[in-house]
Copies of this chain bind each other. A is one copy, B any other.
Amino acid sequence: MAELKTVLTEKAAAVDNKLKELMELKSDELAPILTEAMSYTLFSGGKRIRPVLSLLTVELLGGNYQAALTAGSALEMIHTYSLIHDDLPAMDDDKLRRGKKTNHLVYGEAIAVLAGDALLTYAFQILSELEIADERQVKLINLLARSAGYQGMVGGQVLDIQAENKQLKLEQLQKLQQGKTGALLKAAVLIGVYCSDYQQDQEKALFNYAQNIGILFQIVDDLLDLTGDTAALGKEAGRDEELNKSTYPSLLGLEGAESAAREYAAAAKASLASLSGQTNYLVDLVDYILTRKH
């Protein structure tokens, strides 16, 4: 078996290629500056963790790899739109993202808002043009809409705004994070499931896995914001404290948060145990997320 790092690099490259293909918008484009602004953040060096999760999952279940690649790329567009809107002056007012100027600093606020809107809309167009059975298509569209909407990512972002300058309880923080970052990570895994002929117990096991790595991912993110530095992160470190946001380390202490991260990592691995056969790279990925440095 190839090393996880090699696999992640290969899969991320496949996602990049698919995204490039999808962003060749050809003759029906109205305003080239819009495509440029959409592509600017889409190709700013993201690790493609979400579509890679879709690919590892679809491989595990022996499903439709091409469909998962395209649907995962649509999900990456939704993730990217959320970053563009989240960085706006009225929101987190961030200047740096992956070591580059944020979208609105390059294209202005109006185009940044519209580039986000267009990425979100295009994601649903891509899903509606996916080559897979209609019934699966509808299921995937429903999954992404529910994960990205008022009951998922956008709902979590609103909670995040309301939480500034407030001390949250742990369960409030978890509710916020499960919307803001957890929902799309879960959707990433479920894309892999829904592009396969899956058994219900497989869906359940992978759902639990996704739930656990969603929380793990966020705890590590909070720890990195606290202990990392701007150069390594590619975004300003210490922003959570600056914005007075509740985080896992602020609620649990540094050691408490580190210990929680290890617990969720163990739970994620345990979720996979019930799956018969190979669990391929999804197990190794847990340690990768636990020990990531940016």
| Residues in A lying within 8 Å of B, measured CB to CB | 25, 28-31, 33-35, 38, 81, 85, 88, 90-91, 108-111, 113-114, 116-118, 120-122, 124-125, 127-129, 134-135, 137-138, 141-142, 144-146, 148-152, 154-159, 161-162, 175, 179
Closest chain B CB from A267 CB (angstroms):
23
B90, B137, B146, B179: the one within 8 Å of A113 (CB): B90
Closest partner residue, chain B, to A139 (CB atom): B128
Given A25-B150, A108-B90, A122-B150, A31:B142 Cβ within 8 A: no
The 8 Å CB contact of A30, one of B30, B109, B114, B150, is: B150
Report B-chain residues with C-beta under 8 Å of the C-beta of A29.
150-151, 155
B110, B118, B151, B156: the one within 8 Å of A150 (CB)? B118
Q: How far is B150's CA from A125's CA once the two chains are assembled, in angstroms?
A: 11
Distance in angstroms from A66 CB to nearest chain B CB is: 18
Q: Which residues of B contact A144 (CB under 8 A)?
A: 124
Q: Kindly list chain B residues whose C-beta atoms are within 8 Å of the C-beta of A124.
A: 124, 141, 144-145
Chain B neighbourhood of A116, CB < 8 A: 117
For residue A158, which residues in chain B have a CB less than 8 angstroms away from its CB? 30-31, 33-34, 111, 114
6 further A-B contacts with Cβ under 8 Å, apart from A110-B161, A120-B120, are A29-B150, A118-B154, A120-B121, A121-B145, A122-B150, A141-B141
Q: Are A175 and B85 closer than 8 Å at their CB atoms?
A: no
Look across to chain B and name the residue whose beta carbon is closest to the beta carbon of A92: B110
Query: Which residues from B are CB-within-8-Å of A85?
Result: 113-114, 117
Evaluate whether A141 and B128 lie within 8 angstroms (CB atoms) in the complex, with A90-B110, A110-B161 already known: yes
CB of A254, distance to nearest CB on chain B (Å): 28
Q: How far is the CB of A90 from chain B (nearest CB, A)?
A: 3
Q: What's the nearest-Cβ distance from chain B to residue A120, in Å?
A: 6
Contacts of A155 in B (CB 8 A): 29-31, 34, 118
Q: Give the contacting residue for A34; candidates B141, B145, B150; CB below 8 A.
A: B150
